[in-house]
Structure 1
Amino acid sequence: MTRTSPAFSPARVAALVLRYLYLLRSSWPRLLELIYWPAMQLLVWGFLQSYIARNASTPALVAGTFVGSVLLWDILFRGQMGFSITFLEEMWSRNMGNLMMSPLRPTEFVLALMAMSLVRLAIGMLPVTAMALFFFGFNLYGFGLALVFFFVNLILTSWAVGIVVSGLILRNGMGAEGLAWSLMFLMMPLACVYYPVATLPAVLRPVAWALPPTYVFEGMRALVIDHVLRADLMLTAFAINAALFAVAVLVFVRLLDGARRQGMLMQMGE
């Protein structure tokens, strides 16, 4: 005689909820995500509202920088995503262990990811910049030499973040995969994408000036509003980027070594 389960069991529901709570508690990236997105939206749009309110008398001047901010932010974000997604494809296919057992050096792997980041970025950005020109009359390439400075600094930041994210996923497993989509947005309120640094509370301004993208977006606003190329901002951003990139590579190598010692490379996949 077989024993049938009741149609509904609160105990089974509670057991599953307890399982998911244990899973949530064991993964700090998952916990961080619960607070992360609401906080980021509040800060970005709250600071933007403050900026617009303070410049209500010159709305056209303020709005003139928004399309440029969107496009430059996309370079930063898509550059990092192109790096991280290419890396994650190796993780999803469970190929990372094979790569690390081959003669491939970590630096060669990173360089290949950087190259694919540029390819993915070009595929995504070229049509978008054409749309910006057609629909809004905004010519990103009209920045001329300034665009080169903006691009180099933004792509270096995106690679540094992508390298660190890849290392964290190697060391912490696929539970940290969400960082590939969310970590860059942590910079967004402090990098002052849509508003100047002066909009931030005084306590946050030193943090903003420690981020290379802040200098790029401030430089873009100076170019659009004042028609001045701030070479000093670009050089400062490049110096910070050089230091961050070197630290990111060192962190990646250390995390990769830790993943190898813990036998993590053969345990990851979809």
Structure 2
Amino acid sequence: MLLRYSYLLRATYTRILDIIYWPLVQMLTWGFLQTYLVQAGALQAPGGAGQAAGTLIGAILLWDILLRGQQGFSFSFIEEMWSRNLPNILMSPLRPAEFVVSLILMSLIRLALGVLPVTLFAILFFGFNLWALGVAFGAFFAVLMFFAWSIGLFVSGLLLRLGLGAENLVWSIMFVVQPLGAVYYPVSTLPHWLQPISWSLPPTYVFEGLRAALIDHVIRWDLLAQGFAIDVFLFAAACVAFGQLLQSARRAGTLLQTGE
């Protein structure tokens, strides 16, 4: 049995990566957060504790919007694979673009059901009103969702090509953004060689904009515009990648090999 499980682990590199992935992400995320709090003296400054708590709650809510947006997209897709219904859908008159639009709309419905009550509880328990950001919150939401859909679309393409052996990507791929996307701390906390990578991710502009709104009371529209511009590029690239992976899956015959 030990040999059986060893062969299974060795034959599926995604399982090995998954074992390494989670401890690494947790270490980076909370390690960088601790570095930020120590360097900034955020908790010792007057009003620093309350300010840190407000930005942390806001970051948690926006992060959940990003995560649930991507997972809501991907879950609807992978459920078709679990039920062995994907070949039927792809052989129907349904266009790939129509299929993608339905996944986008379903992610919005799942997000509304999951996150809307949480924002209300944040007001009730902590007095933090994310909706008070007004138009800025709408801009934050748009940048995060387009990035979530880009990742969800790319992961769906990989599932088409690689099958359910890659399904861990649905749950795990977004978490690599957490330490690199400046969710809980500014980009300046990261090592210098990581900062360009951070600035290449649209969520970074949202979370930097959130801190500017809550701490400096300034809406950084320039940051949001840059984040949205990167979103447009990534979404277009994800659409092309999905189309290419779909064609590759058809040529390789992997569409008929999906299932539980």
TM-score using structure 1 length: 0.93
Shift of 1:41: 0.2
Counterpart of 1:7 in structure 2 is: none
Residue 189 of structure 1 pairs with residue 169 of structure 2: no
1:157-196 aligned at under 5 Å gives the runs 157-196=147-186
| Cα distance in 2, alignment partners of residues 89 and 246 from structure 1 | 25
1:114-193 aligned at under 5 Å gives the runs 114-193=104-183
Residue 247 of structure 1 pairs with residue 237 of structure 2: yes
Counterpart of 1:97 in structure 2 is: 87
Counterpart of 2:18 in structure 1 is: 33
Deviations along 1:130-176, whole A, 9 cap, x unmatched? Answer: 10000000001000010011000000000000001111111111010
The one-letter code of the counterpart of 2:58 is: G
The one-letter code of the counterpart of 2:15 is: R
Counterpart of 1:12 in structure 2 is: none
Which structure's residues are more often helix, by fraction?
A: 2
Counterpart of 2:228 in structure 1 is: 238
Mark the runs of 5 or more structure 2 residues left unpaired by the alignment. none
1:78-89 aligned at under 5 Å gives the runs 78-89=68-79
| Cα distance in 2, alignment partners of residues 26 and 99 from structure 1 | 30
| Cα distance in 2, alignment partners of residues 258 and 22 from structure 1 | 28
Counterpart of 1:44 in structure 2 is: 29
Q: Percent identity?
A: 57
Pick the structure with greater CA Rg.
1
Shift of 1:26: 2.4
| Cα distance in 2, alignment partners of residues 129 and 206 from structure 1 | 32
Alignment counterpart, residue 97 of structure 2, candidates 89, 104, 107: 107
| Cα distance in 1, alignment partners of residues 259 and 114 from structure 2 | 27
Range with greater deviation from structure 2 (257-266 or 174-183): 257-266
Contact 1:150–1:216 under 8 Å retained in 2: yes
2:180 is paired with a residue whose SS is: coil
The one-letter code of the counterpart of 1:161 is: I
Range with greater deviation from structure 2 (174-183 or 53-62): 53-62
Counterpart of 2:5 in structure 1 is: 20
The one-letter code of the counterpart of 1:55 is: A
The one-letter code of the counterpart of 2:22 is: W
The one-letter code of the counterpart of 1:135 is: F
Counterpart of 1:228 in structure 2 is: 218
Contact 1:83–1:117 under 8 Å retained in 2: yes
| Cα distance in 2, alignment partners of residues 108 and 42 from structure 1 | 40
Residue 201 of structure 1 pairs with residue 184 of structure 2: no
Shift of 1:21: 2.4
Contact 1:55–1:62 under 8 Å retained in 2: no
Contact 1:216–1:237 under 8 Å retained in 2: yes
TM-score using structure 2 length: 0.96
Range with greater deviation from structure 2 (48-57 or 29-38): 48-57
Shift of 1:237: 0.3
Deviations along 1:51-78, whole A, 9 cap, x unmatched? Answer: 1112322332222200000000001000
- Root-mean-square deviation over aligned CA pairs: 0.9
The one-letter code of the counterpart of 1:223 is: A
| Cα distance in 2, alignment partners of residues 241 and 263 from structure 1 | 32
| Cα distance in 2, alignment partners of residues 185 and 89 from structure 1 | 21
